[in-house]
Amino acid sequence: MTNKIPARFILPENKIPQQWYNLRADMKEQPDPLLNPGTGKPIQTEELYPIFCEELAKQEMDSTTRYFDIPGPVMDVYRKFRPSPLCRAYSLEKYLDTPAKIYFKYEGGNTSGSHKLNSAVAQAYYAAQQGLNGLTTETGAGQWGTALAEACAYFHLPLKVYMVKGSYNQKPFRKSIMQTFGAEVIASPSDTTNAGRAILKEDPDTTGSLGCAISEAVEVATTTPGYRYVLGSVLNQVLLHQSIIGLESKIAMEELGEYPDIVIGCAGGGSNLGGLIAPFMQDKILGKANPYFIAVEPASCPSLTRGRYAYDFCDTGRVTPLARMYTLGCDFIPSANHAGGLRYHGMSPILSKLYHDGLLDEARSAKQTDVFDAAVLFAKLETILPAPESSHAIRCAIDEALRCRETGESKTILFGLTGTGYFDMTAYTQYLEKTMTDYVPTDADLAPYFDRLPKIPGVQE
Ligand SMILES: *Cc1c(COP(=O)(O)O)cnc(C)c1O
């Protein structure tokens, strides 16, 4: 066999992307605008300045600029861990005895262990540029907090992280990493904010949720001089920064003479999937190619597959702007049995719109024991211990490759391997000891959350 495709391919220096790609510039129909929860009117960019740093607020609202130059200092940090490898899962293909070719873009090789560093670096840079005193954020599993702590340390910015209490207690080493990089880490809900105190009063034993941690972080950002809030997913600006994943993947595949038939990503808030598919979706919108896109989410937190496409708050405390997205309702908290990440109640407005319009072809949900079956198989064959989140995409890639074995089609599959699972060994242990259970909410479980979706006169009654 000549010119065998390498198992691990890194873009050559002269092919490294220097710009982010803004998919909204090519979308024929735009996501619905963010609304001010007080007035029900579309938000103006300036209204976001008290929450977000100015450059990021502008990126959030910009649906026309197709490419944004990646600032030099951000490129300098990217070069410490990018380009990330595009890998060919030869051993998995062989084990599955499939004619399909399976590629994955591996984002877990940096010290934060996930793709989140791509946006953390950008957000910390713009905040430092604006001369801010510090940032606040929330973190669930801890990957975002870790990535942001690293980025803030690099740009000399103080950081307060509200960490969902359940994982604060379960993942003490995550907390230590953030502290090592100089971040202050507070278990949420906490008694440091009005939002936290209100939630604690109602349920003193709550293990917290992402939505609740967001409320606390936003409150502190808006009441501390020179502080702003940053978010690691969902927002348009985060998808913009994460487009680096898709851009590198597309150029790498071109270099190898390949193009994906199927692109698969796990979906929590939607940032890695949105970033991975962005340039391929551009091809689809412009009629240049027709790849099939699949989003994979946990059956216990099924926003795309079972949520409503509606205006909702991004947080439990109901203080953030309203976004139209697939949502399970802003006070939905996945079952405590759910260890597999991807716990956010809503989905990126860009991805929600693409899914609603049929451009994001399919959303699937996976049960966590099936996801961990795939994770352990993949680890043994490919020597990477995947994050539970990423393993949703692995599950789907395996299922698609098995389908190819049945039909004999040799499809080219690309999936996003977003991170490593070294801090998720509690979940792996549950799986190995067979104490892991699958929980799928019933329609009756979900109904009360839908009933509490915000009412907006003239928009959503
Ligand atoms: C945060 C995270 C995800 C999910 O977030 P998205 O915004 O949906 O990409 C997936 N994988 C890993 C490893 C993560 O840390």
Pocket test for ligand 1, best of 234, 266, 344 (most atoms within 8 A of CB): 266
Pick the closest to residue 376 from 432, 443, 304 (CA basis): 432
348 has a pLDDT exceeding 90: yes
Give the sheet arrangement for strand 292-298, strand by strand.
Answer: 8-9, 86-88, 101-106, 412-417, 262-266, 292-298, 362-366
Task: Give residue-wise pLDDT tens across range 273-290.
Answer: 999 999 999 999 999 999
Report the candidate in 222, 216, 221, 280 with the shortest Cα–Cα distance to residue 248.
280
The protein residue whose alpha carbon is closest to atom 7 in ligand 1 is 271
Mutate which of 138, 163, 342, 365 for ligand 1? The one with the most ligand atoms within 8 Å of its CB, which is 342
pLDDT at 2 over 90: no
Specify the residue with its C-alpha closest to ligand 1, atom 2. 389
Q: Ligand 1 atom closest to Cα of 114?
A: 13
Q: Please tell me the distance between residue 293's alpha carbon and the centre of ligand 1 in angstroms.
A: 17
Phi (first) and psi of residue 138, to 5 degrees: -120, 160
Maximum distance among all alpha carbons in the chain? 67
* pLDDT score for 212: 86
3-state secondary structure of 349: helix
Segment 92-133, tens digit of pLDDT: 999 999 999 999 999 999 999 999 999 999 999 999 999 999
pLDDT (tens digit per residue) in 239-271: 999 999 999 999 999 999 999 999 999 999 999
CA 295 / ligand 1 centre spacing (Å)? 12
Structure tokens at 355: 């899914």
| Residue with CA nearest ligand 1 atom 13 | 419
Q: What's the gap in Å between 389 CA and the centre of ligand 1?
A: 6
Instruction: Kindly give the distance from the C-alpha atom of residue 261 to the centroid of ligand 1, in angstroms, as a whole number.
Output: 23
Q: Whose CA is nearest to atom 10 of ligand 1?
A: 389
**Residue found under tokens 């982010």:** 20
Report the separation in Å between the CA atom of 16 and the middle of ligand 1, taken as the mean of its atom positions: 23
Q: Going by CA atoms, what residue is nearest to atom 5 of ligand 1?
A: 268
Write the residue with the smallest CA distance to atom 15 of ligand 1: 143
Q: Of ligand 1's atoms, which has the minimum distance to the CA of residue 113?
A: 13
Percent of the chain with pLDDT over 70: 99
Question: Probe ligand 1: pick from 105, 111, 116, max atoms within 8 Å of CB?
Answer: 116
- Record the tokens describing residue 358, joined without a space: 């049929």
Distance in angstroms (rounded) separating the CA atoms of residues 355 and 304: 8
With cut-offs at 50, 70 and 90, classify the pLDDT of residue 1. very low
| Ligand 1 first shell, C-beta below 6 A | 114, 116, 143, 233, 266-272, 342, 387, 389-390, 418-419
Looking at residue 237, its amino acid is Q
Q: How far is the CA of 46 from the centre of ligand 1 (A)?
A: 29
Measured in angstroms, how far is the CA atom of residue 221 from the centroid of ligand 1?
Answer: 23
Q: Please give the mean pLDDT across all residues of the chain.
A: 95
Looking at residue 244, its pLDDT comes to 98
Cα–Cα distances (Å) from 25 to 291, 326, 367, in that order, read 19, 22, 35
The atom of ligand 1 lying closest to the CA of 419 is: 13
Taking the centre of ligand 1 as the mean of its atom positions, its distance from the CA of residue 309, in whole angstroms, is 21
Interval between CA 280 and ligand 1 midpoint (Å) = 20
- By the 10 Å C-beta count (0-12 exposed, 13-18 middle, 19+ buried), 386 is classed as buried
How would residue 3 be classed by pLDDT, with cut points 50, 70 and 90?
low
Q: For residue 276, how far is its CA from the centre of ligand 1 (angstroms)?
A: 12
**pLDDT tens sequence across 4-24:** 899 999 999 999 999 999 999
- Map residue 96 onto helix, strand or coil: helix
